[in-house]
């Protein structure tokens, strides 16, 4: 069907005229519109008046998830955290903790699609402190604070039962192998780097890397980009043998949790009363988080002593200085992750890019009417934030490395087999191995 | 006796550190609470900033995208030769399928009365590519525009389209006012 060209109600409609006149008419129309629109809002095509009394429908806008449901999630988290703490510390039952983590996996994982999560909330908190315009929502703040508060009193029961990322890894542990101590310590530094970068990128308003590279969210959603699915599956396959690799060697929230857990008031104990040194629990922990009793003679033989402690303590400032230096050196590189900085840099280093019609970012910028100077000025402000932030992050990492080294030469007297309060995920596996009755 | 003393000292230090950690947690919460909002945030496209680059169709974590075209009927001119419905040079074209601008045929054209036609978006077919929006904004009143449909959007902590949006048109808005649907004006009203 050819569209009929008669517009009885709209004689000025330019499309019905021959081509030459159409153009003239169009420009005339544009000119009129332009002059009118300066003092009133007039449409290019006037609003129709229907003779048949047709009523215009209204635009359908489905509501987002109800706010009450978001608070319900917080309530669920609170209940799960309390239950997990009670099951770990009082009931001391692996079976119950496992079922609780299955519930968490279903609710926070598959039902809530792994989002909202405490791990990602670090970035919201960081951004709310750094940005004057961003206000954090109360639910995100509660998801950040509640697990930390619980951990400060009960140990990492959040990891045991309330974290969907932990739960999905926990259920695939088949044959965990024990990693050598040096490897555990070295890989254990990665979460600090991840945390420092995540806070840096969030605070500069660049990116939320924790959420973007969450390996399991694609599995929870049953849909993700191919490389993220590969990453998620790879973590689960690895997790069959190296138990909970994400929790131990990547999770940035785990860093904060281990600080809290280190000084927790009540923490899971392997034995309900007194350790009888039966060594039955030694192989029970898939996370290498059980500290063995120390042998004083070995320590003396190894040459660990106050001298080495002093040396390591004295070089901590050196580590910090190195960290600050590395941070200062790398801030230019890191700031390129910011889209504004990247665009400004691209426009300066490659002026010909203006003619590249395929580059949407450049073309949109050119049509936006913003000058290059404004863009460069904005990029410089962001780079300034990166300059400060990278140095702080570098210094923090230097301190962490220094303290980790210092920790290796600290001798702690231990008579029993005990969970390492920082690394223990309170999964209660070891409890089942202890033959001691209450 | 000596042992007990060290035990006490260790306990004292541990209690002290715990108290200071609790204090810092409290400080963080209070500092954050000072500018907290009890409302939730969702992502939405400002239709007056959007440049219809087409990334909404490709970069959303949902497949197809949670971004759909919505139609502000109050703004629509009900044109016969709709710039959003037909490919450019509309008056040379028929309403045949190959002349439709929408790649998924998600726009339904309904005859109302001479010479008015009403255009409806079939949400389940729309992929949010914004081709019709571009056509409507260039040739018409701009009544078609892209919005994030919140019954589909999973509200990621950071919207993956917002990250790549060349015009920074996607912003966090309060969940209680989750849409920025155009009214009966084609230019942004002066606030």
pLDDT by residue (tens digit) across A150-203?
999 999 999 999 999 999 999 999 999 999 999 999 999 999 999 999 999 999
Local structure of A380: helix, strand or coil: helix
The pair of three-digit structure tokens given for residue A45, joined into one six-digit string: 């095509």
User: Is A347 part of any domain?
Assistant: yes
Residues A221 and A319 in one domain: no
Find, in chain A, the residue whose alpha carbon is nearest to that of B174: A137
pLDDT at B35 over 90: no
Please give the Cα distance from B39 to A67 (Å, whole number): 7
State what percent of residues in chain A have pLDDT above 90: 66
Domain hosting A278: range is 70-293+420-433
Q: What pLDDT was estimated at residue A140? A: 92
Q: Could you tell me if residue A248 is inside a domain? A: yes
Q: What tens digit of pLDDT does each residue of A54-110 get?
A: 888 888 888 988 889 999 999 999 999 999 999 999 999 999 999 999 999 999 999
For residues A144 and A121, the answer to whether their CB atoms sit within 8 Å is yes
**A128 chain-B contacts, CB cut-off 8 A:** 32, 35-36
**How many Å apart are CA B67 and CA A250, to the nearest integer?**
33
The pTM is what? 0.87
Select the more confidently predicted residue: B5 or A329. A329
Question: In this structure, are A311 and A270 located in the same domain?
Answer: no
Cβ atoms of B184 and B72 closer than 8 Å:
yes
Does A45 sit within 8 Å of B140, measured CB to CB? yes
Same-domain status, A153 and A247: yes
What are the tens digits of pLDDT across the range A132-142? 888 899 999 99
User: Is the Cα torsion angle A27, A29, A32, A35 positive or negative in sign?
Assistant: negative
Q: Which of A6, A341, A321, A61 is nearest to B180 (CA)?
A: A61
Instruction: Note whether A425 and A290 are within 8 A (CB).
Output: no
B25 chain-A contacts, CB cut-off 8 A: 145, 148-149, 152
Tokens of A74: 């917080």
Give pLDDT, residue A312: 92
Contact A248, A422 (CB under 8 A): no
Q: Are residues A110 and A232 in the same domain?
A: yes
Query: What is the mean pLDDT of the segment spanning B142-165?
Result: 92
Residues A187 and A253 in one domain: yes
Q: Is residue A206 part of a domain?
A: yes
Q: What is the pLDDT, as a whole number, of residue A298?
A: 74
| pLDDT tens digit sequence for A352-406 | 988 888 899 999 999 888 899 999 999 999 999 999 999 999 999 999 999 999 9
Residue A16 lies in a domain: no
From the CA of B188, how many Å to the nearest CA of chain A? Answer: 10
User: How many structural domains are present in chain A?
Assistant: 2
What's the rounded Cα separation, in Å, for the pair B101 and B84? Answer: 7
Kindly state the average pLDDT of the residues A19-36: 45
Element holding A367 (H helix, E strand) = helix A360-368
Q: What is the pLDDT of residue A25?
A: 46
Alpha helix (H) ranges present in A240-356? 245-249, 252-262, 296-302, 306-314, 316-335, 339-349
Residues A87 and A223 in one domain: yes
Q: Which two tokens stand for residue A24?
A: 């003239």
Q: Same domain for A331 and A247?
A: no
Phi, psi (rounded to 5 degrees) for B171: -130, 165
Same domain, A141 and A240: yes
- Please judge whether A125 and B154 are an interchain contact, meaning their C-beta atoms are less than 8 angstroms apart: no
pLDDT at position A12 is: 40
Binary contact (B21, A260; C-beta < 8 A): yes
Give the H/E segment covering residue A169.
Answer: helix A164-170
Q: Do residue B178 and residue A63 have CB atoms under 8 angstroms apart?
A: yes
Whole-complex ipTM: 0.87
> Considering the domain boundaries, does residue A438 fall inside one?
no
DSSP state of A14: G
Pick the closest to residue A161 from A174, A151, A149 (CA basis). A151
**Are A7 and B113 contacting, i.e. CB atoms less than 8 angstroms apart?**
no
Same-domain status, A229 and A82? yes
pLDDT at position A254 over 60: yes
- Looking at the fold, whether A270 and A334 belong to one and the same domain comes out as no
Question: In the 8-state DSSP scheme, what is residue A15?
Answer: G
Average pLDDT across chain A, whole number: 87
pLDDT band at B2 (very low <50, low <70, confident <90, very high): low
| A239 in the same domain as A91 | yes
Are residues A332 and A288 part of one domain? no
Residue of A61, A123, A207 lying closest to B163 (CB–CB)? A207
| C-alpha to C-alpha distance for B56 and B67, rounded to whole angstroms | 6
Q: Is residue A315 part of a domain?
A: yes
pLDDT class of A43 with cuts at 50, 70, 90: confident
Structure tokens at B170: 């996607």
pLDDT higher than 50, residue A31: no
């Amino acid at each position: 069907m050819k569209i009929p060209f008669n517009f009885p109600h709209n004689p000025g409609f330019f499309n019905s005229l021959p081509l030459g006149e159409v153009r003239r008419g169009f420009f005339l129309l544009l000119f009129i519109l332009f002059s009118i629109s300066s003092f009133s809002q007039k449409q290019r095509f006037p609003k129709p008046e229907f003779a048949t009394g047709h009523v215009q429908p209204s635009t359908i806008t489905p509501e987002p998830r109800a706010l009450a449901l978001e608070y319900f999630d917080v309530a669920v988290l609170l209940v799960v955290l309390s239950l997990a703490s009670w099951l770990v510390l009082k009931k001391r039952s692996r079976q119950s903790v496992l079922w609780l983590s299955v519930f968490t996996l279903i609710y926070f994982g598959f039902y809530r699609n792994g989002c909202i999560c405490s791990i990602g909330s670090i970035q919201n908190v960081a951004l709310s402190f750094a940005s004057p315009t961003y206000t954090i929502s109360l639910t995100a703040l509660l998801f950040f604070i509640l697990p930390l508060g619980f951990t400060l009193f009960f140990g990492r029961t959040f990891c045991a039962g309330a974290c969907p990322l932990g739960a999905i890894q926990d259920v695939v542990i088949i044959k965990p192998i024990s990693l050598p101590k040096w490897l555990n310590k070295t890989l254990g530094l990665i979460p600090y780097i991840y945390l420092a970068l995540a806070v840096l990128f969030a605070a500069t308003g660049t990116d939320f890397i924790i959420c973007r590279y969450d390996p399991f969210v694609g599995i929870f959603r049953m849909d993700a980009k191919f490389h993220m699915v590969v990453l998620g599956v790879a973590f689960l396959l690895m997790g069959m043998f190296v138990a909970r690799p994400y929790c131990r060697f990547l999770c940035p929230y785990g860093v904060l949790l281990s600080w809290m857990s280190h000084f927790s008031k009540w923490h899971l104990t392997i034995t309900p009363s007194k350790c009888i040194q039966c060594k039955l629990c030694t192989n029970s922990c898939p996370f290498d988080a059980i500290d063995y009793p120390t042998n004083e003679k070995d320590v003396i033989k190894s040459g660990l002593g106050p001298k080495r402690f002093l040396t390591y303590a004295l070089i901590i400032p050196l580590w910090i200085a190195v960290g600050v230096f590395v941070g200062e050196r790398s801030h230019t590189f890191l700031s390129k992750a910011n889209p504004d900085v990247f665009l400004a840099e691209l426009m300066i280093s490659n002026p010909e890019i203006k003619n590249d019609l395929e580059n949407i970012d450049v073309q949109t910028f050119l049509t936006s009417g913003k000058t290059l100077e404004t863009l460069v000025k904005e990029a410089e402000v962001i780079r300034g934030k990166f300059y400060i932030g990278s140095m702080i992050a570098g210094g923090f990492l230097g301190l962490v490395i220094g303290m980790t080294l210092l920790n290796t030469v600290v001798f702690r007297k231990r008579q029993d087999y005990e969970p390492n309060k920082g690394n223990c995920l309170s999964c209660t596996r070891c409890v089942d191995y202890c033959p001691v009755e209450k | 006796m000596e042992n007990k003393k060290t035990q006490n000292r260790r306990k004292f230090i541990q209690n002290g550190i715990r108290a200071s950690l609790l204090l810092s947690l409290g400080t963080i919460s209070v500092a954050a609470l000072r500018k907290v909002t009890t409302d939730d945030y969702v992502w939405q496209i400002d239709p007056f900033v959007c440049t219809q680059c087409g990334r909404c169709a490709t970069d959303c974590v949902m497949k197809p995208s949670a971004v759909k075209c919505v139609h502000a009927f109050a703004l629509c001119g009900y044109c016969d030769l709709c710039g959003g419905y037909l490919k450019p040079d509309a008056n040379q074209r028929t309403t045949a399928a190959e002349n439709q601008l929408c790649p998924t045929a998600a726009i339904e054209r309904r005859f109302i009365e001479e010479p008015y036609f009403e255009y409806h978006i079939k949400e389940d077919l729309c992929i949010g590519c914004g081709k019709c929006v571009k056509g409507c904004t260039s040739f018409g009143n701009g009544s078609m525009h892209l919005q994030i449909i919140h019954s589909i959007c999973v509200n990621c902590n950071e919207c993956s389209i917002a990250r790549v949006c060349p015009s920074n048109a996607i912003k966090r808005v309060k969940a209680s006012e989750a849409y920025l649907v155009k009214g009966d004006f084609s230019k942004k009203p002066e606030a």
